[in-house]
């Protein structure tokens, strides 16, 4: 039944002999097939337009006969003496136009239970070590082959018999090669090879071979690109399997247009044409290693393990190589791409993110059909200028690299490029030539080092720019006038170009946050009718311009003057962390505004318009934290008794130094969350509980001056689920009151100092005492003992999560020693129990170790304590709570011992020291995407799946080390990172201990800057917490600050 032989040849074709090989080499236009059964198409005519010479000639990719993998790269010892030009890609690579087939469509099978009509073969995550060929080949109609997340080390050759395949997914296996027979699958559209081992080690030998031609070009910068060059190919042909005889044939083809000069010539690689037809797909040998064991050499045949014959598959449009590792399991450095993929001129989407790539070859220019290229999360220091030759490229993603500049040549993509993401790099300036990208709709330059924006990128509004755009236009006639999304967060911008807003009139999402902008009062600001989201937080703005809330001239021309047409699409405005003293009254006329954040400014008065008909229907979230002594002014008879905020769900007025609850809150009956923490409120008015009895779910009154609580009034809050009274020094609550307050309570305590208080839910309907052992799973405890040497402050927030899963313990004068303080933070997941259990028992274990082994190094105490807490939690689960096997927690502990900072951490809870204004990280983030952690997990048989900058072990857990998570063993372990740092009494200022809810949004240095800008350390903790929340954190947020200068 098989239509192909196991060797991959067609039955009707004879073996290829030496005469055939020599005959093919005599004509450059005829190409060799590795399998011996695929005839290369007639090459297209040579184009007259110039081609940039390759850094590694595509001629190096010509395959050996009879091998299952492409030919090895150039061997420098066998180069021809003459310097000849590379073969033009238009004369040797398959023409994409000749394969312009209709894209295969998924076809539903007929209604039958027969395996003959199966269209999907799904063995995803079934621990397969090999493919059952007999089972697979019973399904000749299969269109989708899904074998991801297994333990496959090879694919069978007979996969080529499944001629209707359109999708092959073998992601996250252990593949190091794929069979050449896949090139027979003419209907294949999508090939997913992500999470395997197809990368090449970036050894010096490999880098040299990849850069030979490029270096020659750099030495000849003035060489005309339009010159036609001659071509010389040197080939070594092995004619028998014993390799005893070899001959060299040199073929020279001179251009009829120009005779070659010495500076025009470049050497071409040697093609080793082996007559051995053995299939190495089942061979997992890594090939010859360098003598020093540092990786594969450039002359190793095993480097060519993605068959170049896949370039014949005209329907192949998507190739996913993301998250691949080096084929050499012992290699621990950076990687390079296998050159064979540059044959695939037909693919439109190429994903190579997270491969630890050191560089991207200029041969990428041959992928002429590319529309989407993702090279993010690598170690690229530059982008090749040859990207400018991909004239179909619409999307380029290169974020999370080490780029320092943007190639000016990208402007040549002016007619195609729509989306450009180069965020999270080290770019200091933007080339002026990018002004020609007039069709660019999405631009992300966040978290770089930009200090200014070129004026020519924003020349002003000209509706004819896009319609009449041509490459001959002057810079002042172009500009980024099509932008819909522009993100410039986290740079050093002090000002914007004068015509900035006039140019981006169609923008919908604009992020200018975390810069140093002092003003945005520029012409054109009122014309942003499409603006939906405007983020301005953490700048130096003193005012919000009135023009931001004025009707546009276009709107006036169409509708006349109409106050209801102000910012008709604006839904989100965040101007927190500036120096605003007031806000425009017209801000309340934005009827679509749902989220307004104005926290941590200097606003003392908020005035609402006097329009009797004005009702703020859309506003759902209002954050005014950190505005000290803020007051509200309302009309005498607001809205004739109509509720002003019928949709407001969340209101935050924390850290505003309020002495009483603002009266307007009593009229907001839709409130679900009210944060009044860190104020000076002494009484809860009865009206509050009466008016909000139906909807209020969260009431936060942490750190106020409450002296008593009316349990009867609180019991009227029917929907209450979270109540926080912690840090009220005058408050005394009896545990018997718990049963009368709502359904669940959080944070009830007598006095924080030297006390244990509750930070998680307690079922009040059962009338339990706080801390009842019968319901420990519902109790989130934190411990605080005051330090005699340092001031220690904390703040936390449940954030956008339904429950609080963080826990901490602060023990000053630890074990009775005034020169020893222990601070620990635990961040739970899949429940809070791992965090609360650790918070309660970790100090006990540490105290026991310090007492029993006083002479061993402090880091040994911490290491042993983590081992024991993990062991104890395992026993607790096994003996009492087996349902908690999926529960886990990250941890970070700081032992301030004499004048040393002893640090241990597991996972991504982080500790940062601020020394003379500079951030110094003392811990280490155990993330699955870390190269060392990825290799460790891979060697144990696991895998790491990366998606949108989040890496997960076996696609499940976003951590590689934790306490608990025993179901993920042996891939997730409790081994801590340990470090010790000598204290610098003069320069050390403070230490931040925080969970990933902070660090996912804020860099180490920015966190230190925020603390330094606060009025006090107490305010700094809340400000840092709220900043992470404003920045978009969707996690629980907990932060502890140790003031090393003051007690």
pLDDT digits (tens, 9 = 90+) for 131-152: 999 999 999 999 999 999 999 9
Kindly tell me the burial class for residue 104, based on how many C-beta atoms sit within 10 Å of its own C-beta (0-12, 13-18, 19 or more). Answer: middle
Residue 317's region, left for phi above 0, alpha for psi from -120 to 50, else beta, is: alpha
Arithmetic mean of pLDDT, 313-332: 93
779 pLDDT higher than 60: no
pLDDT at 502: 94
Question: Residue 735: CA atoms inside 13 Å, Cβ hemisphere, count?
Answer: 11
Beta-ladder partners of 388: none
The C-alpha torsion from 824 through 828 and 832 to 834, rounded to 10°, is -70
Asked if 413 and 385 touch (Cβ cutoff 8 Å), the reply is no
Identify the bridge partners of residue 903 per DSSP, sorted by sequence position.
894, 979
Tell me the per-residue pLDDT of 556-585, one tens digit each, with 9 for 90 and over. Answer: 777 766 666 688 899 999 999 999 999 988
Confidence class for position 180, pLDDT limits 50, 70, 90? very high
Query: Nearest 5 degrees, angle CA 326-CA 331-CA 336?
Result: 45
H-helix or E-strand spanning residue 149: none
Instruction: Name the residue among 309, 353, 317 with its Cα closest to residue 191.
Output: 317
- Residue 738's pLDDT is 41
Return the number of other C-beta atoms located less than 10 Å from residue 52's C-beta: 15
Q: How confident is the model at residue 37 (pLDDT cuts 50, 70, 90)?
A: very low
Residue 617 DSSP code: -
Q: What is the pLDDT of residue 431?
A: 96
Assign 302 a pLDDT band (cuts: 50, 70, 90). very low
Cα–Cα distance, 683 to 525 (Å, whole number) = 44
More reliable by pLDDT, 566 or 1028: 1028
Residue 463 banded pLDDT, cuts 50, 70, 90: low
Looking at residue 725, what is its pLDDT?
Answer: 83
**How much is the pLDDT for 109?**
58
Range with the poorest average pLDDT among 699-708, 728-737, 1022-1031: 728-737
Rounded to whole angstroms, the Cα distance separating 824 from 839 reads 7
Looking at per-residue confidence, does 221 or 373 come out higher?
373
- Cα 425 to chain centroid distance, Å, stands at 13
Q: Angle at the Cα of 690 (from 686 to 696), degrees rounded to 5?
A: 110
**Residue 348 and residue 317: Cα distance in Å, rounded?**
5
> Each residue of 907-923: b (16+ CB within 10 Å) or e?
bbbbbbbbbeeebbebb
Helix (H) or strand (E) holding 939: helix 931-939
Q: Where are the alpha helices (DSSP H) in 186-229?
A: 204-219
How confident is the model at residue 802, as a pLDDT? Answer: 82
Spatial separation of the C-alpha atoms in residues 279 and 891, rounded to whole Å = 49
Q: Are 64 and 16 in contact (CB under 8 A)?
A: no
CB 329 within 8 A of CB 293: no
- What is d(CA 957, CA 969) in angstroms, rounded to the nearest whole number? 11
Q: Is the pLDDT of residue 299 over 60?
A: no
Contacts of 576 (CB under 8 A, 6+ apart): 537, 538, 597, 598, 599, 600, 601, 623, 625, 626, 1026, 1027, 1030
Listing DSSP states for 400-442 in one string gives SS------GGGGGGTTT--EEE--SS------GGGGG-TT--E
At 113, is the pLDDT very low, low, confident or very high (cuts 50, 70, 90)?
Answer: low
Confidence of residue 81 (pLDDT cuts 50, 70, 90): very low
Residue 908: closest CA among 840, 994, 1020: 994
Residue 106 reports pLDDT greater than 70: no
Q: What is the mean pLDDT of the chain?
A: 78
> 716 falls in which pLDDT band (50, 70, 90)?
confident
Q: Taking phi first (over 0 means left), then psi (-120 to 50 degrees means alpha), and beta for anything else, what does residue 45 get?
A: beta
**Better-scored residue on pLDDT, 125 or 24:** 125
pLDDT of 745: 41
Q: What local confidence, expressed as pLDDT, does residue 63 receive?
A: 42
Nearest in space to 263 (alpha carbons), one of 528, 53, 495: 53
Contact present, 443 and 486 (Cβ < 8 Å): yes
Task: Report CA 997 to chain centroid distance, whole Å.
Answer: 15
Instruction: Give the mean model confidence (pLDDT) for residues 207-236.
Output: 42
pTM as predicted: 0.79
Is pLDDT of 54 > 50?
Answer: no
State which H helix or E strand residue 314 sits in: none
Note whether 268 and 86 are within 8 A (CB).
Answer: yes
Pick the CATH number of 780-924+977-1047 from 3.40.50.12780, 3.40.50.620, 3.30.9.10, 3.60.40.10: 3.60.40.10
Chain-centroid distance, C-alpha 578? 28
* For the chain, domain boundaries: 780-924+977-1047
For residue 691, what pLDDT is reported? 83
The three-state secondary structure class of 745 is: strand
514-549 confidence digits (pLDDT tens): 999 999 999 999 999 999 999 999 999 999 999 998
Please state the rounded mean pLDDT for residues 923-950.
89
Closest CA to 998 of 912, 928, 915: 912
Q: How confident is the model at residue 765 (pLDDT cuts 50, 70, 90)?
A: very low
**How far is 595 from 607, CA to CA, in rounded Å?**
18
Once rounded to an integer, what is the mean pLDDT over residues 267-294?
37
16-30, 387-401, 949-963: which has the highest mean pLDDT?
Answer: 387-401
Over residues 893-905, the pLDDT tens digits come to: 999 998 999 999 9
Instruction: Give the three-state DSSP class for 941.
Output: coil
Q: How many CB atoms lie within 10 A of CB 638?
A: 19
Q: Look at strands 144-146 and 120-122 and give their pairing.
A: parallel
Q: How many angstroms separate the CA atoms of 448 and 428, rounded? A: 7
Question: What are 589-619's pLDDT values in tens digits?
Answer: 888 899 999 999 999 998 877 664 566 778 9
């Amino acid at each position: 039944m098989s239509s192909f032989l196991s060797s991959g040849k067609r039955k009707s074709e004879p073996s290829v002999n030496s005469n055939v090989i020599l005959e093919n080499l005599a004509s450059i236009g005829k190409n060799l097939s590795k399998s011996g059964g695929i005839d290369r198409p007639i090459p297209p005519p040579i184009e007259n337009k110039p081609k940039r010479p390759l850094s590694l000639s595509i001629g190096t990719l010509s395959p050996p006969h009879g091998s299952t993998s492409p030919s090895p790269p150039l061997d420098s010892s066998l180069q021809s003496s003459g310097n000849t030009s590379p073969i033009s890609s238009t004369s040797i690579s398959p023409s994409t136009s000749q394969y312009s087939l209709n894209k295969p469509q998924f076809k539903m099978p007929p209604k039958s239970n027969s395996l003959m009509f199966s269209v999907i073969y799904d063995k995803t995550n079934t621990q397969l070590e090999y493919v059952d060929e007999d089972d697979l080949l019973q399904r000749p109609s299969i269109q989708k082959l899904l074998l991801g997340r297994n333990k496959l080390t090879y694919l069978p050759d007979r996969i080529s018999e499944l001629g209707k395949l359109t999708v092959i997914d073998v992601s996250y296996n252990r593949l190091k090669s794929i069979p050449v027979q896949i090139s027979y699958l003419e209907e294949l559209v999508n090939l997913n090879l992500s999470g395997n081992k197809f990368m090449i080690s970036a050894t010096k030998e490999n880098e040299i071979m990849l850069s030979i031609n490029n270096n020659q070009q750099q030495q000849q910068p003035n060489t005309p690109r339009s010159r036609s060059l001659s071509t010389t190919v040197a080939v070594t042909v092995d004619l028998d399997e014993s390799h005893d005889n070899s001959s060299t044939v040199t073929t020279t083809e001179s251009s009829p247009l120009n005779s070659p000069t010495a500076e025009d010539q470049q050497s071409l690689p040697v093609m080793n044409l082996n007559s051995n037809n053995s299939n190495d797909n089942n061979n997992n040998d890594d090939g010859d290693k360098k003598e020093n064991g540092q990786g594969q050499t450039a002359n190793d045949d095993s480097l060519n393990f993605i068959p170049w014959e896949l370039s014949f598959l005209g329907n192949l449009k998507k190739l996913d190589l993301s998250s691949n590792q080096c084929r050499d399991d012992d290699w621990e450095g950076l990687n390079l791409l296998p050159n064979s993929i540059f044959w695939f001129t037909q693919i439109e989407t190429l994903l190579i993110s997270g491969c630890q790539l050191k560089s991207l070859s200029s041969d990428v220019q041959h992928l002429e059909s590319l529309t989407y290229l993702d090279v993010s999360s690598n170690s690229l220091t530059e982008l090749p200028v040859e990207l400018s030759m991909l004239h179909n490229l619409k999307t380029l993603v290169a974020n999370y690299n080490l780029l320092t500049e943007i190639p000016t040549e990208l402007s040549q993509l002016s007619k195609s490029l729509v989306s450009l993401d180069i965020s999270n790099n080290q770019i200091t300036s933007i080339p002026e030539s990018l002004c020609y990208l007039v069709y660019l709709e999405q631009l992300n330059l966040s978290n770089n080092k930009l200090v200014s924006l070129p004026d020519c990128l924003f020349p002003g509004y000209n509706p004819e720019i896009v319609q009449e755009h041509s490459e001959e236009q002057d810079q002042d006639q172009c500009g980024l006038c099509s932008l819909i999304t522009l993100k410039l967060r986290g740079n050093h911008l002090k000002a914007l170009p004068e015509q900035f807003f006039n140019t981006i009139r169609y923008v919908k999402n604009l992020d200018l946050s975390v810069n140093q902008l002092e003003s945005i009062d520029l012409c054109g600001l009122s014309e942003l009718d499409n603006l939906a989201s405007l983020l301005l937080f953490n700048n130096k703005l003193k005012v919000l311009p009135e023009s931001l809330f004025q009707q546009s001239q276009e709107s006036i021309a169409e509708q006349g003057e109409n106050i209801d047409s102000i910012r008709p699409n604006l839904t989100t405005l965040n101007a927190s962390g500036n120096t605003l003293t007031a806000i425009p009254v017209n801000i309340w006329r934005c009827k679509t505004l749902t989220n307004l954040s104005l926290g941590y400014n200097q606003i003392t008065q908020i005035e609402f318009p006097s329009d009797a008909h004005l009702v703020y229907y859309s506003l759902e979230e209002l954050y005014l934290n950190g505005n000290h002594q803020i007051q509200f002014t309302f009309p005498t008879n607001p809205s004739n008794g109509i509720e002003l905020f019928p949709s407001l769900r969340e209101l935050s007025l924390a850290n505003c130094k309020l002495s009483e609850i603002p009266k307007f809150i009593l009229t907001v009956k839709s409130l679900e969350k009210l944060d009044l923490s860190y104020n000076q409120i002494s009484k809860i008015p009865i009206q509050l509980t009466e008016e909000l009895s139906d909807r209020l779910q969260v009431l936060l009154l942490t750190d106020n001056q409450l002296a008593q609580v009316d349990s009867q009034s609180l019991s009227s809050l029917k929907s209450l689920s979270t109540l926080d009274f912690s840090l009220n020094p005058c408050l005394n609550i009896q545990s018997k009151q718990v049963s009368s307050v709502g359904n669940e309570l959080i944070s009830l305590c007598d006095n924080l100092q030297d006390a244990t208080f509750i930070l998680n839910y307690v079922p009040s309907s059962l009338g339990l005492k706080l801390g009842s052992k019968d319901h420990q799973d519902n109790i989130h405890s934190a411990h605080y003992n005051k330090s005699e040497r340092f001031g220690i402050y904390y703040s936390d927030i449940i954030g956008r999560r339904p429950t609080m899963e963080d826990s901490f313990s602060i023990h000053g004068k630890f074990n009775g020693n005034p020169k020893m303080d222990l601070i620990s933070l635990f961040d739970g997941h899949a429940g809070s129990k791992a965090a609360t259990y650790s918070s309660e028992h970790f100090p006990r274990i540490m105290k026991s170790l310090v007492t029993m082994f006083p002479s061993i190094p402090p880091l040994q105490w911490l290491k042993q304590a983590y081992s024991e807490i993990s062991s104890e939690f395992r026993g607790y689960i096994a003996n009492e709570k087996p349902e908690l096997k999926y529960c886990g927690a990250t941890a970070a502990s700081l032992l301030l011992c004499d004048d040393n900072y002893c640090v241990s951490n597991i996972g991504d809870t982080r500790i940062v020291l601020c020394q003379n204004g500079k951030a110094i990280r003392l811990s280490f983030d155990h993330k699955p995407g870390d190269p060392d952690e990825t290799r460790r997990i891979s060697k144990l048989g696991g895998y790491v799946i990366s998606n949108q900058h989040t890496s997960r072990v076996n696609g499940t857990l976003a951590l590689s080390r934790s306490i608990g998570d025993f179901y993920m063993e042996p891939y997730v372990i409790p081994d801590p990172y340990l470090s010790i740092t000598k204290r610098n009494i003069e320069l050390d200022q403070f230490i931040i201990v925080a969970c990933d809810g902070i660090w996912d949004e804020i860099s180490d240095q920015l966190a230190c800057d925020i603390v330094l800008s606060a009025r006090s350390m107490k305010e700094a903790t809340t400000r840092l917490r709220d900043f992470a929340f404003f920045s978009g954190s969707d996690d629980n947020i907990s932060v502890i600050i140790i003031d090393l200068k003051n007690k």
